[in-house]
């Protein structure tokens, strides 16, 4: 149970560093883990990163094999021979790793790419002890039972850093650094089934969800106009402004987070579910304000006074509700994973835009109508049985 939780944690960290939007990594039964990665263009590469055990070891090459190349040492390992001593250090001594170009034009293996590792304080001390006791010997750095490099120790290394040479490309260097950063899996993973959902099936699901959002938007707009008349038209325009700003904000946020190497907001089913919920929240904020305006008119106030007082009192009411929803979404985003994060982030962005639209757009239109006395018949705001209300 403990090792399975550790494996899930490590795999989620690796997926997060891949920058995948709204992934899903869930345990299924006792021994199975289901991983869903939307939008991945190279499934094999993702599988290599997620499933690599990343067992890193440091061992001294035995004296009789000290002059052999890395390729020769690996061939000996494949044959079951033991050219290395016992492992003196493991990957848990590493605090950070980064892949990039070699510091010199070419490293000792003739490659231009390498992985730089930084040790923890205990790891740095242990590495210093190992190198000081084995000067003029070769130190093999082994990743998943494959010797990556075996440099000769010229002097004790006490600065807490080490380098893995032999990377054939920058992509490989970054991949190795990523799996070292996230730690070693507690066991070796075996792929039991791999399935790729085609773009047609995925697009059909998105199209159906988008159609549901459009129908929901249209039904809410028709109800608001039918019940609140002119105020309903204002609500419809406000919903249009809200939807436009929400879409623009999601696109912008996705671009900014993508540039920062963080998974952003993708147009996935949970995100669309959040949008549908936000349509109801945005409509509810209008209903609260409009009902308060109607109460003010019933109490005998002029339409101008009713619009001002109704918006002021109604805004405070729905602002409290929006803030509570925002805090709930923030908690979901902080503690949630994968699909839950996408839903929560969409909800938080939408709540902020709803408040902005109410303050800037909705309030301005209501003031414009009230100041110019464009509505004289209370029936035009959904009030029946009242005579015309004047303006102040």
Q: Quick: pLDDT tens for 4-29.
A: 887 888 887 777 777 666 677 777 77
Reported as type and span, the H/E element at residue 385 is: none
Residue 101 vs residue 125, higher pLDDT = 125
pLDDT above 90 (res 252): no
pLDDT cut 70: percent of the chain above it? 84
Bridge partners for 163 per DSSP = 116
pLDDT tens, 187-238? Answer: 777 777 777 665 554 567 667 777 887 888 888 888 888 888 888 888 888 9
pLDDT above 70 (res 164): yes
Positive or negative torsion for Cα 176, 182, 186, 188: negative
CATH fold group of domain 1-52: Alpha-Beta Plaits (3.30.70)
**CB–CB of 243/231 below 8 Å?**
no
At 106 the pLDDT is 47
> How deeply is 36 buried, as exposed, middle or buried, from its count of CB atoms within 10 A (0-12, 13-18, 19+)?
middle
What CA–CA distance (Å, rounded) separates 137 from 251? 55
Whole-model pTM over 0.85: no
At 259 the pLDDT is 63
What CA–CA distance (Å, rounded) separates 239 from 279? 7
Q: Which CATH architecture has domain 199-381?
A: Up-down Bundle (1.20)
Write phi, then psi, for 167 (nearest 5 degrees): -75, 130
At 391 the pLDDT is 44
Q: Which CATH architecture has domain 54-182?
A: 2-Layer Sandwich (3.30)
What are the domain boundaries of the chain? 1-52, 54-182, 199-381
Give the torsion through C-alpha atoms of 11, 14, 18, 24, to 10 deg: 20
Q: What angle do CA 177, 152, 102 make, to 5 degrees?
A: 40
Residue 240 vs residue 302, higher pLDDT = 240
At 199 the pLDDT is 53
Average pLDDT, the chain: 81
Residue 102 vs residue 360, higher pLDDT = 360
At 20 the pLDDT is 67
At 260 the pLDDT is 58
User: Which stretch of 76-90, 171-185, 318-332 has the lowest confidence by average pLDDT?
Assistant: 171-185
């Amino acid at each position: 149970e403990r090792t399975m939780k550790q494996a899930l944690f490590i795999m989620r960290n690796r997926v997060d560093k891949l920058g995948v939007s709204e992934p899903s990594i869930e345990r299924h039964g006792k021994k199975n883990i289901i991983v869903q990665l939307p939008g991945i263009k190279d499934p094999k590469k993702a599988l290599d990163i997620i499933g690599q055990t990343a067992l890193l070891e440091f061992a001294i090459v035995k004296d009789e094999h000290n002059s052999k190349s890395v390729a020769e040492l690996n061939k000996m390992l494949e044959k079951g021979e033991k050219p290395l001593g016992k492992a003196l250090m493991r990957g848990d001594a590493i605090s950070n790793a980064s892949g990039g170009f070699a510091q010199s034009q070419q490293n000792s293996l003739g490659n231009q790419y390498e992985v730089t590792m930084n040790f923890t304080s205990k790891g740095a001390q242990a590495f210093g002890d190992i190198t000081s006791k084995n000067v003029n010997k070769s130190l093999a750095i082994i990743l998943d039972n494959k010797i990556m490099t075996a440099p000769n120790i010229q002097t004790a290394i006490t600065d807490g850093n080490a380098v893995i040479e032999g990377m054939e490309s920058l992509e490989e260097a970054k991949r190795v650094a990523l799996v070292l950063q996230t730690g070693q899996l507690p066991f070796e993973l075996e792929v039991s089934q791999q399935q790729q959902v085609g773009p047609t099936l995925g697009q059909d699901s998105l199209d159906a969800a988008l159609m549901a959002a459009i129908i929901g938007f249209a039904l809410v707009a028709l109800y608001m106009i039918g019940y609140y008349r002119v105020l309903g038209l204002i609500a419809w325009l406000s919903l249009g402004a809200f939807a436009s700003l929400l879409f623009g904000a999601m696109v912008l946020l996705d671009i900014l987070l993508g540039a920062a190497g963080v998974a952003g907001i993708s147009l996935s089913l949970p995100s669309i579910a959040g949008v549908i919920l936000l349509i109801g929240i945005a409509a509810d904020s209008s209903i609260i304000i409009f009902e308060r305006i109607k109460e003010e008119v019933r109490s005998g106030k002029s339409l101008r006074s009713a619009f001002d007082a109704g918006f002021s009192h109604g805004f405070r009411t729905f602002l409290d509700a929006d803030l509570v929803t925002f805090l709930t979404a923030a908690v979901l985003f902080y503690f949630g994973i994968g699909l839950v994060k996408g839903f929560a982030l969409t909800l938080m962005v939408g709540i902020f835009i709803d408040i902005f639209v109410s303050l800037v757009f909705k309030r301005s239109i209501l003031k414009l109508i009230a100041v110019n006395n464009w509505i004289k018949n209370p029936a035009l705001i959904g009030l029946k049985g009242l005579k015309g209300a004047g303006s102040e």
